[in-house]
Structure 1
Amino acid sequence: MDPYNAGALSLLPPIIAITLALWTKEVFSSLMIGILSGSLIYTVGMGQDFVIVRTIETAFAVMVKKVDFNIIIFCTLLGSLVYVISLAGGTRAYGKWATRRIKGKTSALLSTSALGAFIFIDDYFNCLTVGTVMRPVTDSYKISRAKLAYIIDATAAPICIIAPISSWAAAVGSNLKSTGAFESDLAAFVATIPWNFYALLSIIMVVLISACNFDFGPMRKAELRAQAGDVGESDKKDDEHRQPEASMRGHVLDMLIPIAALIVFAIMALLFNGGYWGSDPAYHTLAAAFGNCTAAPALAIASFAALLVAFLQFVPRGVLSLKAFMDGCMQGMKAMMPANTILVLAWAISGVCRDLLQTPVFVKSLVEADGGLTGGLLPAVIFILACFLSFSTGTAWGTFGILIPIVVPVAQVIDPNGSLVLISLSATLAGSVFGDHCSPISDTTILSSAGAACTHIEHVSTQMPYACVVAVSSLVGYIVAGFSQSLPVSFGAGLVVMVLTLLYFRSRVRSREAAA
């Protein structure tokens, strides 16, 4: 299908989908309406006949084209793995074991954050694994599923974007290579890490929220409900899928060994995929292999291998019969169907905007039209554009893929000998992470809610105030950075704004609760 430059109309489909999702609390129909609206704009713009039929045909053609079956397989098999681990009693045994060692709610929250930071290779892998491992622990301390989903989400993309060895580093490096502005793509990526204010402040926010046991906005209400015994709505709706009748013979190793196998096989598959054991010596180092890998097929292989390990661990010992194991696999696949469906719809609406309606062309025209932009404001403007684009399309990779080739030349013209290029590049990556972190149509947002067994819209609404506080604080940091080009001063400014904002909300929450 030939693209159609829809201009500002290219932003309409995600705006419709996001508005409807937040209004109706129903994400499936909202995404579908967004996709159909974009297809309608394309059909009318291209002057096609049989408008209704062509609109539907175009929507499903894009959907089929954009589906990443490796990710679908990974999520589906991981759902099977999670279910059979629970069926074997591994989740129950681990929950009891961890509860004896993790003393208190604060320790549970900080342990969840630490595990999220530890799994930095890929955000998809992070989202589902951390939720699987820590959900029994957080449930035992009456931590809401919304809070768990927020910690998972805030330690997924923000961690991956500052990890030199990750699938994200490879994606950024491929875009940097296309600019020809850097001698070493990896060195340029590493140089952006201290200037990636949104990622760094998100991590600090998680630590502060966890250590101080403080919440505000919708998250506060979710936490109060959790203290009363209601950790999340999904418990009631999906109990037959989420909580199987567990074997009493399960041991803590019945959870730890399959999860450890998943991690080990993921690393090995990523290295194999990246050519570490291949014939080209250029990829015979860890950094080069990880930089050359493709995460999705590697994760699909890893999830299958981990499920095979679980089979060999459970069935020969008699913990599960062959029939019970296979039935558990099927139930786990069913449990992941909603998340997989949302992923497909999210990919489709991104494809409609990017491939058919030419959203990148429109954004590029906005940037190039502002030729008189003051150099000091460039990082802040780029950060705002990246936030808006990533939130609208739900993809960080697509956003920095659009903006990096535009931002680097513009920054070089404005400040050829200064550090503005690096700061602007960092602002691009930071703004891209914002949308990936909190957009309702972002795949990591979807997977975080799935991993935590939290209602998707509740996850979006509860974490949005936290993400916005970090985004505003980062914006202040980039405004200061554009003029001072000093890392300590600019990052310090953003950090101070974030801490003061949290203190303000804390005082308001205490005042309201005292008055009540």
Structure 2
Amino acid sequence: MFQQDAWSLMPILVTLLVSLWTRKVVLGLFSGVVVGVLMLQQSINPLSVFGQMVQHYLVPQVTDSYNAGVLVLLVFIGGFVALMEQSGGGHAFAERVTSWVKSKWQVQIAAWFGGIVIFFSDLGTPLIIGPVFRPLFDKLNVSRQKLAFIVDSTASPVAILVPFIGWGVYIMGLIRKELVVAAPDISEWDAFVGAIPFQFYAILAVVIVPVLAMHKMDFGPMARAERAVNEGLTHGYTDVSVKSFSHPNAKAAFVWAPLLVMVSVILVMLVPLGFPFKQISGAVFRAALSSGYFFAATTLILLMAASRVRKIGEGISLYLQGMNNMMQIAIVLVLAWTLSALGKELGTAAYIARIAQAGFPSWLLPAATFVIAAVISFATGSSWGTFAIMMPLVLPTAIAIDSPMLVCIGAVLSGGLFGDHCSPISETTVFASTGSGCDQFEHFRTQLPYALTNGALALTSFVVSGLYPSHYVVFAALAIQILLLWIHSLLGKSVKQSLASNDG
């Protein structure tokens, strides 16, 4: 074990500085790994250092059976997501939903519901729901800023709550790397699922949409955007947008039928083993998920061919392209695993835990984690990169100082998501505004007050959960959110009535 002192923080500090400077988390992680290897090898020969890094650190992470299983599963997920996005099924499903829409609040709820149903792709949601609902929002005089806000609130916030899609698999891969040493008796699945009620920001972000829509509680720049569109103004709109793939033969069944096949395959493989009442080994569960995604993709390829939407060869090409699209995520994971392994050899987490034990209150760790993760995510525009940086530091510290681990996991995830939502440079901001035909800065400006409101509530919830780690805290946070919006709405109406009487 390397001496546990402040020098052990160097790789993570380099990772942070390079990530913030370049806004490229992959480059930051790679730089941190190189610095860690340099410290352990105590050599400045670049050929020797690089050879040692590949042979003794990168390759073992890829060949580890658990890590390999995660990477294989991500590849299958990537292929399926690409097929879903390019099948026309999402467009057909959304079109079916829009046929029932007659009012402003209905169109907002319909877009929100569509975003939840298209849960399998956080970046695909804005590019499917946005273009389909944009004409209907224009027709009913609901601003495109509101549409961008809705699709942004049902993309990442929904995806991060689902354990069996790309987000969940990626996060569990990061969690497991820390638990295998610090808490081997806890599975990464149990940790992720147990932390779901403590993902305060994601839950608040999803719930705020129907509350605003049904009670007309808009405030700040969003309220002004809504008034402007009612007056016939289209400030902040843009023609630079995308169209989701559509085909006259595409059917809504392209969405639900493959998902039904996937669930059926998973249940057939796992129920005889006692699922969900008995714990299933991670390897078996990942094998079942991989099988489910493969057969779901096969079903979708055959459905598209039978409906003459895409030939089988085209479907296979899309599938392989989607697999290839997961390469960057795989690179981030491998580098994050490697940085974590280097940190253990250097004693990074042990040093942080020892410093924290010397005087840092355990109940404050979730709130501090949320703030730090939010700052990193805001500056880099990457929530996934933030998870990779924060998880290896927070989990061992939480266990060492007896801070509620599940709450700390929720704080890492919520902080990364909150910073991403507030960042004008994040991918979700770009995709949500592009898919909705809304100016990128206008979407950032109108969404920010809602994000800050939810962020303040989440921070308060993490303070409370640090002291009293109860699942009921999320219900209190939701109740306070609704109460605050209601009070703000009443104050807004009061001001309007006062102005009207003065004019009179």
Aligned match of 2:73: 70
| Higher alpha-carbon deviation: 498-507 or 191-200 | 498-507
Counterpart residue number, 2:341: 355
Aligned alpha-carbon RMSD (Å): 5.6
Report the counterpart of residue 262 of structure 1 in structure 2: 258
Cα drift, residue 176 of structure 1: 8.0
Structure 1 match to 2:299: 309
The alpha-carbon deviation at position 12 of structure 1 amounts to 2.6
1:87-144: CA deviation from partner (whole Å, max 9, x where unpaired): xxx555444332211334543443454466678xxx7x36367557644543333545
Q: What SS does the corresponding residue of 1:288 show, helix, strand or coil?
A: coil
1:326 maps to amino acid: G
1:477–1:229: structure 2 CA closer, same or farther, 3 Å change rule?
closer
Partner in structure 1 of residue 411 of structure 2: 431
**Aligned residues of 2:157 and 2:206 also touching (Cα < 8 A):** yes
Distance 1:285 1:504 in 2: 46
In structure 1, the partner of 2:43 is: 48
Identify which range, 148-157 or 223-232, moves more after superposition: 223-232
* Cα gap change, 1:287 to 1:458, in 2 (>3 Å): farther
1:6–1:357 Cα contact (<8 Å) kept: yes
Partner of 1:6: 8
- C-alpha distance in structure 2 between counterparts of 1:43 and 1:186, whole Å: 31
Residues 116 and 130, structure 1, Cα contact 8 Å, conserved in 2 = yes
Runs of 5+ in structure 1 lacking a partner? 22-29, 278-282, 412-420
Q: Distance in 1 between matches of 2:481 and 2:103?
A: 30
Would the aligned equivalents of 1:13 and 1:349 in 2 still touch at CA under 8 Å?
no
Q: Distance between the aligned counterparts of 1:108 and 1:131, measured in 2?
A: 15
Cα distance, 1:210 vs structure 2: 4.9
CA contact (8 A) 1:199 1:430 kept: no
Percent identity of the aligned residues? Answer: 13
Q: CA deviation at 1:359?
A: 10
Does the Cα contact within 8 Å between 1:10 and 1:38 map onto a contact in 2?
Answer: yes
The structure-2 alpha-carbon separation of the partners of 1:232 and 1:431, relative to structure 1 and needing over 3 Å to count, comes to farther
Q: Which segment drifts farther, 10-19 or 126-135?
A: 126-135
Q: Does 1:288 align with 2:278?
A: yes
Give the letter for the 2:365 counterpart: V
TM-aligned CA deviation for residue 284 of structure 1: 2.0
Asked if the contact 2:411/2:462 (under 8 Å) is kept, the reply is: no
Quote the residue 2:454 is aligned against.
470
1:330 aligns with 2:320: no
Is contact 1:17–1:34 with CA below 8 Å preserved after alignment?
Answer: yes
Find the residue that maps to 1:127 and give its secondary structure. coil
Contact 1:145 1:452 in 2 (8 A): yes
CA contact (8 A) 1:175 1:405 kept: yes
User: How many corresponding residue pairs?
Assistant: 453
1:163-312 pair list within 5 angstroms = 197-211=200-214, 212=216, 214=218, 235=242, 243=245, 247-248=247-248, 250=249, 254-272=250-268, 275-277=270-272, 283-288=273-278, 297-312=287-302
Q: Do 2:157 and 2:203's aligned partners in 1 also have CA atoms closer than 8 Å? A: no
1:218 CA displacement: 10
From 131, 134, 157, the counterpart of 1:139: 134
Matched, 1:371 2:357: yes
1:385 to 343, 354, 369: 369
1:340 aligns with 2:333: no
Mapped partners of 2:470, 2:304: distance in 1 = 56
The code of the aligned residue for 1:330 comes to: S
Q: 2:141 — aligned with what?
A: none
Matched residue of 2:43: which SS? coil
Gap regions ≥5 residues in structure 2? 138-143, 378-383, 500-504
- 1:156 maps to a residue whose letter is A
What per-residue deviation string (whole Å, max 9, x for no partner) do you get for residues 323-360 of structure 1? xx4235535755786x5354234324423532334599
Query: TM-score, normalised on structure 1?
Result: 0.64
Distance 1:18 1:188, change over 3 A: closer
Separation in 2, partners of 1:333, 1:179: 38
Residues 1:78 and 1:431: Cα distance change in structure 2 (over 3 Å): same
Q: Output the CA distance in 1 between the equivalents of 2:28 and 2:121.
A: 28
For the structure 1 residues 294 and 153, does the alpha-carbon distance in structure 2 shift closer, same or farther, using more than 3 Å as the test?
farther
Distance 1:113 1:266 in 2: 24
CA contact 2:80–2:297 (8 Å) conserved in 1: yes
Give the secondary-structure state (helix, strand or coil) at the position aligned to 2:122.
Answer: helix
Question: CA 1:39–1:153 in 2, change beyond 3 Å: closer, same or farther?
Answer: same
1:101 aligns with 2:138: no
Determine the structure 1 residue equivalent to 2:380.
none
Aligned position for 1:27: none
The aligned runs of 1:483-498 (5 Å cut-off) are: 492=476, 496=480
The answer to which of 257-266 and 221-230 deviates more is 221-230
Change (3 A) 1:232 1:78: farther
DSSP 3-state at the match of 1:80? helix
3-state secondary structure, aligned to 2:251: helix
Instruction: Indicate conservation of the 8 Å contact 1:149/1:451, yes or no.
Output: yes
> 1:335 and 1:156, CA in 2 relative to 1: closer, same or farther beyond 3 A?
closer
Cα 1:436–1:110 shift into 2, 3 Å:
farther
**Other-structure match for 1:394:** 385
Given the superposition, is the C-alpha separation of residues 351 and 488 from structure 1 closer, same or farther in structure 2, using an over 3 Å criterion?
closer
CA contact (8 A) 1:214 1:506 kept: no
Residue type of the alignment partner of 1:433: L
The alpha-carbon deviation at position 11 of structure 1 amounts to 3.3
User: Is 1:153 the counterpart of 2:172 in the alignment?
Assistant: no
Offset from partner CA, 1:397-443 (integer Å, 9 cap, x none): 996676456535633xxxxxxxxx7xx234213202224535669xx
CA contact (8 A) 1:202 1:470 kept: yes
Partners of 1:227 and 1:58 lie apart in 2 by 54
- Partners of 1:314 and 1:320 within 8 A in 2: yes
